[in-house]
Structure 1
Amino acid sequence: MIIIETKNYLYTYSWEPNEASLCALERRILFGEDSESSILESSIEIDPSRSPFIRERLEIICEAGEFVELLNHIHQLEAVDGFKVVFVQNPDAEKVGFKKLRKIEKEVGLHLKGEAELVEPHIWYGIIQAHDRWVFGKYVRNEAVWLHHVKKPHSYSTALSTRVARAVVNIAAPETSGVKMIDPCCGIGTVLVEALSMGIDIVGSDRNPLILDGVRENIAHFGLEGDVSLRDINDITGSYDVAVIDLPYNLCSVISDDEQLEMLRSARRFADKVVIVTLEDVDANVTKAGFDIIDRCEVSKGRFVRQILVCA
């Protein structure tokens, strides 16, 4: 029987074509792996709900080359009451039909010791056929938290989508605890809401006094608490582990190349790492400001193509 002693996790992924580059960057940052597969296996534990691209996670308990062999392994596990079994579709393989997957779930359930609970289970188990073997483990699905954040009291048409904002936060802070983050051009607060919902220590500021009440209302609408102040990026003091700067916040008040460089130099002063979101080519100014671009991607929204630069 193959029992996994060191915890390993199997993640399933999905993404839209326009987000493929963003998904790949988030995956590299979170897991240190670059792959086009929709399945990722890692010893790193990530809450699936953190990412807009992770669908499900299995904490692997046992595995086998054949389904019958796996059933024998499952039957040897200790009894647990209140479980439910779900079949996990392999995104890289042909979809398994409803009748077949229900049969698989039933067979697994019958081999598990303990009482099943289909209505309000205490523990979820998942089973998947992936990479030429069958895998069984504890199952967690993505709760799509960012979808709830779409319906906020105030929004801008040019603001980042909640999906992109959530991925940007993951790229900025792969480790959520002990990180001090700032969004110095917070706009209507899309990045702030996503970061705060992950429990990240983040503050926001903007130089536009007309939007701050809306930002605070957006944060409070989701039961979150965060510090938002009226400040120009060039006036920020203190030190932060990472900053997220969405340069297009100035779409309605165009800034010069020199002003953009001044903003980036200010960011260099107060942040060790910066994730820049931009509609323009800012590579030259990023270098002049003293940053190195260590990774990047593109993501489109309608006619807009945003670049996301990871700088340190």
Structure 2
Amino acid sequence: MYDNELDITPQKGMTYIYTYACSEDERSLCALEMRSFFGEVSQSNVLETFLKIDPSRSPFIKERITVLYEAESLENLVIKVETLQLSGATFKVTYVKNNGQAKSKKDGFEKRRGIEREIGLHVNGKANLRNPDQLFGVMHINGRWIFGEYVKSESVWFQHQKKPHGYSTALNTRVARAVVNIAIPNPNGIKAIDPCCGIGTVLVEARSMGIDMVGSDRNQLILPGARENLVHFGLNGEINLADLRDITNHYDVAIIDLPYNLCSVITPEEKLEMLQSARRFANKVVVVTVEPIDEILIKAGFSIIDRAVAKKGLFIREVIVCN
């Protein structure tokens, strides 16, 4: 459940620290998702911000700490932790590695466990390492020690790889989830559409995050599989038979993964017609393409505001954010 974790709003007086992990091929896409969520990109694998999101939304975020106490030294942090009241709840303390630090400054395994024990001994509560009521994280960042509520990301996108129906040219679920976050960082009040939804990969990621997205496709043969994929994961959502050029409802956001395989060849004229239609029914469009398309986007009336590449070996897709 995401509930209010979907809110991407400044929380007065609260600081949040996120750790990230991505491969070199994913770095561009990860950076675009980070800019979409937070309006900035960290130069390391750690991001400190006043904005709160559920880390499980992102395929790249590993964990989040909500900072409760901070101090220049570990000894002073321990003194502050002693004031924490858990009202009978059990707890566990986890040392969170700062991979943005120089290797020479990183703590080894035994030291990390020792810090966990030291902090844990000064928490006014009962430790439970297997099934705690409350998780806490301790971390060294930017020359200070911090302690706070700890949330580890769940790889929801990974579970979605095991869907009943697949399609050879569909986005992988990790990329699809990032694209949804890039298109819709704050879903509150947003109505979205995937008008070339295919087997429903993007739609599954969006609906699993509670995002109000509908799907449509002009290929009637593929829609039963898309609907079954949604049901398989306990999700519901509207999937219609419709050509993108015939859509009449208006949406805040559209995600368009342009067809490109041998069975779905479309001419530049058809691409222009599709994108002109999207310009009509959506305020914001995120286009996924394997071919250069800037000229057609501009001709269709779009302004390109950001972009990234999603690589898999030599295969490259562009993710282009347009208004």
TM (norm. structure 1) is 0.96
Residue of structure 2 in register with 1:45 after alignment? 52
Q: What is the rounded CA distance, in whole Å, between the counterparts of 1:177 and 1:249 in structure 2?
A: 32
Which of 96, 117, 121 is equivalent to 1:106?
Answer: 117
Q: Residues 1-312 of structure 1: matches in 2 within 5 Å?
A: 6-80=13-87, 81-93=89-101, 94=103, 95-248=106-259, 251-312=262-323
Consecutive aligned runs of 4 or more in structure 1 exceeding 6 Å deviation? none
Q: Which runs of 5+ in 2 are unaligned?
A: 1-10
Give CA deviations for 1:108-162 in whole Å, capped at 9, x if unaligned. 1101111122221111000011111111000001011000001101112221111
Contact 1:248 1:279 survives alignment (8 Å)? no
- Distance, in Å, in 2 between the alignment partners of 1:187 and 1:146 is 18
CA shift digits 1:70-93 (9 cap, x unpaired): 111111222442111111111113
Q: Deviations over 1:193-238 (max 9, x none)?
A: 0000000000000011111011011111100001101110001111
* Preserved CA contact (<8 Å) 1:185 1:249: no
Whether the 8 Å contact between 2:25 and 2:313 is mirrored in structure 1 is no
Report the 3-state secondary structure (helix = DSSP H, G, I; strand = E; otherwise coil) of the residue aligned with 2:114.
Answer: helix
Distance 1:5 1:303 in 2: 45
| Deviation of the 1:69 alpha carbon | 1.0
Between 69-78 and 131-140, report the one with greater CA deviation.
69-78
CA apart distance, 1:250: 5.1
Q: AA paired with 1:308? A: V
Distance in 1 separating the partners of 2:308 and 2:263: 25
Matched residues, percent identical?
A: 57
Query: 1:304 and 1:158 mapped to 2: Cα distance?
Result: 11
Q: Distance in 1 between matches of 2:128 and 2:260?
A: 50
Distance 2:298 2:177 in 1: 26
Q: Is the 8 A contact 1:233 1:267 kept in 2?
A: yes
Q: What SS class does the counterpart of residue 196 from structure 1 fall into?
A: helix
Change (3 A) 1:291 1:165: same
Q: Mind listing any 5+ residue stretches in structure 1 that lack a counterpart? A: none
2:247 partner amino acid: I
For 1:279-305, what per-residue CA distance to the aligned partner results, in whole angstroms no more than 9, with x for missing partners?
011101101111100000111123321
137 and 27 in structure 1: CA distance in 2 versus 1, 3 angstrom threshold: same
Q: Is the 8 A contact 1:86 1:127 kept in 2?
A: yes
**Deviation of residue 46 (structure 1)?**
0.7
2: distance between equivalents of 1:274 and 1:251? 25
Q: Which amino acid aligns with 2:84?
A: L
Which secondary structure does the structure 1 equivalent of 2:167 belong to? coil
What is the alpha-carbon distance in structure 1 between the residues aligned to residue 130 and residue 316 of structure 2? 44
Paired position in structure 1 for 2:7: none
Cα offsets for 1:38-58 (capped at 9, x unmatched): 110111001000001110000
- For residues 159-210 of structure 1, what are the alpha-carbon distances to aligned partners after superposition, in whole Å with 9 as ceiling and x for unaligned? 1111110000001111122110000000111100000000000000001111
Q: Distance in 2 between matches of 1:141 and 1:286?
A: 39
Q: Secondary structure at 1:22's aligned position in 2?
A: helix
Measured on the aligned residues, the alpha-carbon RMSD in Å equals 1.3
**1:115 aligned counterpart, secondary structure:** strand
For 2:224 and 2:154, the matched residues in 1 are separated by 29
